[in-house]
Amino acid sequence: MPDVGEGLTEAEILKWYVQPGDTVTDGQVVCEVETAKAAVELPIPYDGVVHELRFPEGTTVDVGEVIISVNVAPGAAAEQPQTAQPAVEEPAAKDAAAATTAAAAEPADEPTGRQPVLVGYGVAETSTKRRPRKGAQAPAQQPAARAAVQGELNGHHAAAAPAAPRPLAKPPVRKLAKDLGVDLATVTPTGPDGIITREDVHAAVSLAAASVAAPAAVPVPQQAPQAEPVQAPAPAPVAAGARETRVPVKGVRKATAQAMVGSAFTAPHVTEFVTVDVTRTMRLVEELKSDKDMAGLRVNPLLLVAKALLVAIRRNPEINASWDEAAQEIVLKHYVNLGIAAATPRGLIVPNIKDAHDKTLPELAAALGELVSTAREGKTTPAAMQGGTVTITNVGVFGVDTGTPILNPGESAILAVGAIKLQPWVHKGKVKPRQVTTLALSFDHRLVDGELGSKVLADVAAVLEQPKRLITWA
């Protein structure tokens, strides 16, 4: 499993496009995985025959785990390909053909050649083999320890392996144990060389508190994979008389929840509101739709809202910043990567338009159109969601007047756009029906004070009320 995005430690296998026995070629897409940010298709860097799928669809796998092996010398294979096996298995391969596969279950002590990695992610000589440490088991003791573990899994009591100074576990497993309040020193390891796995942590939780349901952030080992997990996991059919349904929290939904909680309780939020007459902006939208320079482009109110926010940021550049907690510094950004919150079948994502401040109106329209269509198809890449500076969320498409949006982590401000409705409005001294909307701007009060936030919101409203300011304020 490659690291398909900065800081990602795991991914869920959504769908296999190949099966054991299938012939594959270098660069062929073999599976689709969902990270905490997006769905990504993974290619294979070899020509050969699929020997084994290590994990079934629906399994969450740590970065660095071998998920597929390919026989690059099919004529030398001695046995039939295997189907996908459960995530927990012995580290050594059970067949002699493993020596000819593209991925071995355990690295040898001697240096090996090119290790199997996916196209585009580089080649690295890596190994999960750990050097011996004080207090660790000798090789001769490992079979006995594994027998004890097997006895424990079968429900029989067995003596625990000698304690090591520090339990062996990968960073994602350590984080899981920390989140669940599990002391790794009390967990019985079942992984290769005494490494603690996710399943071991969940088993410890179940043993410690059988009456408390384990969190659903990671699939339970015995849970059957979903048949077609290419869309957001829908609730299972409700049985007659059922009062509750539990849906696993993972992928984009899990990441969104963690990010929003972290943002809400890290950055002190302030939200301000303004209601504005956008009748002239709506007229301009209709005019632009028929303009030949905008032919084939997505033209809607969001386009002009985005342009208005960019003008406001240019007039008040201090709003475009971030807070560096470690250095205790405010980082002023001299570029605008404009985030657009998008509701997708997998959950809320916030891809951003890079260097939006430099784009003309047609270029901005083209970028918005591509961003939206890519998000709807579920093809947004992790890179497209990194490096945002400010965000727009359009809650008006749901008929909502406005809201108090939570900042996208690491950003200084987020603008919510409410529904545009025909309302009675005082215009030139008379009450007339006008197109009216409400804007809400949330900002990080550590680096944006009330005056600055108010100026930015007022400028956005002023441009939308009088769109000719797009020219006069340029």
Residue-wise pLDDT for 394-413, tens only, equals: 999 999 999 999 998 889 99
Q: How far apart are CA 153 and CA 203, in angstroms?
A: 10
The C-alpha atoms of residue 322 and residue 448 are separated, in whole angstroms, by 10
First and final CA of the chain: distance in angstroms?
48
Residue ranges, CATH 3.30.559.10, the chain? 253-472
Alpha-helical (H) ranges within 316-385 are 361-376
CB 407 within 8 Å of CB 269: yes
- Contact between 456 and 317 (Cβ < 8 Å): no
Q: Record the tokens describing residue 67, joined without a space.
A: 């998920």
The C-alpha atoms of residue 465 and residue 282 are separated, in whole angstroms, by: 10
CATH code for the part of the protein at 253-472: 3.30.559.10
Catalytic, out of 156, 202, 427, 445 = 445
DSSP per residue over 204-240, as a string?
HHHHH-TTSPPPSSS--TTSPPPS-TTS--PPPPPPT
Q: What is the pLDDT of residue 143?
A: 41
- Cβ atoms of 186 and 201 within 8 Å: the answer is no
CATH number of 10-100: 2.40.50.100
- Whole-angstrom CA distances from 260 to 389, 414, 438 are 16, 13, 23
Average pLDDT, the chain: 76
d(CA 254, CA 232): 12
- Is residue 97 within 8 Å of residue 76, measured between CB atoms? yes
Please list the residue range(s) of the chain that carry CATH number 4.10.320.10: 139-208
Residues of the chain with CATH 2.40.50.100: 10-100
Q: What is the pTM of this model?
A: 0.55
Per-residue model confidence (pLDDT) at position 213: 34
Distance (Å, rounded) from C-alpha 315 to C-alpha 336?
13
Residue 85 clears pLDDT 70, i.e. is over it: no
Kind and range of the H or E element at 263? helix 251-264
Could you confirm whether 334 is annotated as catalytic?
Answer: no
CATH number of the domain located at residue range(s) 139-208 in this protein? 4.10.320.10
- pLDDT classification of 136: cutoffs 50, 70, 90: very low
